[in-house]
C-alpha cells in the first residue's frame, strides 16, 4: 500500500502546490502583502492583525463579527501558504479578462474604454446578481470614476483578473 501522502497526491488531494499557480513576482507581491498584514510578525494573520491593518488604512471601527467572518474563511490559522491558497481560490473563480471586457463592451458602443458610472451603478443594482449600495461604494472607492463620471472599465477588468493596476 502506498504511503498516505502519495495516495493523496494520486487522488488529487490537498498536496497540490499552490506556489505553481503564480509566477515568482506575484508570489513576492503576496509575501509583501502578507508581511504588511502580519502586524505582530508572528507568521500568522489573526483578528488583531486585521484590525491593525484596517486601522492603518484609516478604517477604525471594524466590527468584531466582520473580522471573525474574515478569519473563518480560512481552513485554519492563516500562515503564508494558507494566505496564498485563499487568493488562488478567489482568483480561480474569476472569469477571464476577455469575458469581463466583452460584458462591458456591450455598454460601450463607441469603444472608448469607459462607461458612465451612474449607468453601471444602475445596471449592477437592478440586474442579475444585484449589488448592494455598500458593494457599489466599495467598487467606486477602489475604482473611482473620473471627473466626467466615467468608469475606466479596461483598468477595472485588468485589476480583477491580474490583481494589480496596469502601467498607464
Cα gap 134→137, rounded to integer Å: 5
pLDDT score of 94: 64
Q: What is the average per-residue pLDDT within 143-153?
A: 92
Task: Give the other-Cβ count within 10 Å of 156's Cβ.
Answer: 20
Residue 10 has pLDDT above 50, yes or no: no
Q: Write out the three cell numbers for 105.
A: 463592451
Residue closest to 21 by CA, chosen among 97, 74, 86? 86
100-139 confidence digits (pLDDT tens): 888 888 888 888 999 999 999 998 899 878 889 988 888 8
Angle between helices 24-37 and 47-56 (to 10 degrees): 90
pTM score, whole prediction: 0.50
Task: Give the other-Cβ count within 10 Å of 99's Cβ.
Answer: 11
- Inter-residue contact 157 to 100 (CB < 8 Å): yes
Q: Give me the chain's average pLDDT, please.
A: 82
Q: What is the average per-residue pLDDT within 134-148?
A: 89
pLDDT score of 50: 95
pLDDT score of 86: 86
Q: Which long-range contacts (CB under 8 A, 24 or more apart) does 16-24 make?
A: 18/81, 18/84, 18/85, 18/88, 19/84, 21/84, 21/88, 21/91, 21/92, 22/84, 22/88
Task: Give the other-Cβ count within 10 Å of 7's Cβ.
Answer: 12
Q: Is 43 helix (H, G, I), strand (E, B) or coil?
A: coil
35-67 confidence digits (pLDDT tens): 999 999 999 999 999 999 999 888 888 999 999
Amino acid at each position: 500500500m502506498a504511503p498516505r501522502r502519495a495516495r493523496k497526491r494520486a487522488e488529487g488531494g490537498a498536496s497540490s502546490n499552490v506556489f505553481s499557480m503564480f509566477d515568482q513576482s506575484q508570489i513576492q507581491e503576496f509575501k509583501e502583502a502578507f508581511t504588511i498584514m502580519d502586524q505582530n510578525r508572528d507568521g500568522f494573520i489573526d483578528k488583531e492583525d486585521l484590525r491593525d491593518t484596517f486601522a492603518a488604512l484609516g478604517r477604525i471601527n471594524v466590527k468584531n463579527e466582520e473580522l471573525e467572518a474574515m478569519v473563518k474563511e480560512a481552513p485554519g490559522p492563516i500562515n503564508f501558504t494558507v494566505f496564498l491558497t485563499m487568493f488562488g481560490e478567489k482568483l480561480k473563480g474569476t472569469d477571464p479578462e476577455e469575458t469581463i471586457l466583452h460584458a462591458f463592451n456591450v455598454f460601450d458602443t463607441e469603444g472608448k474604454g469607459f462607461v458612465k458610472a451612474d449607468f453601471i451603478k444602475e445596471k449592477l443594482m437592478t440586474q442579475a446578481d444585484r449589488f448592494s449600495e455598500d458593494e457599489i461604494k466599495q467598487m467606486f472607492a477602489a475604482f473611482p470614476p473620473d471627473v466626467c463620471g466615467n468608469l475606466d472599465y479596461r483598468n477595472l477588468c485588468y485589476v480583477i483578473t491580474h490583481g494589480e493596476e496596469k502601467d498607464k
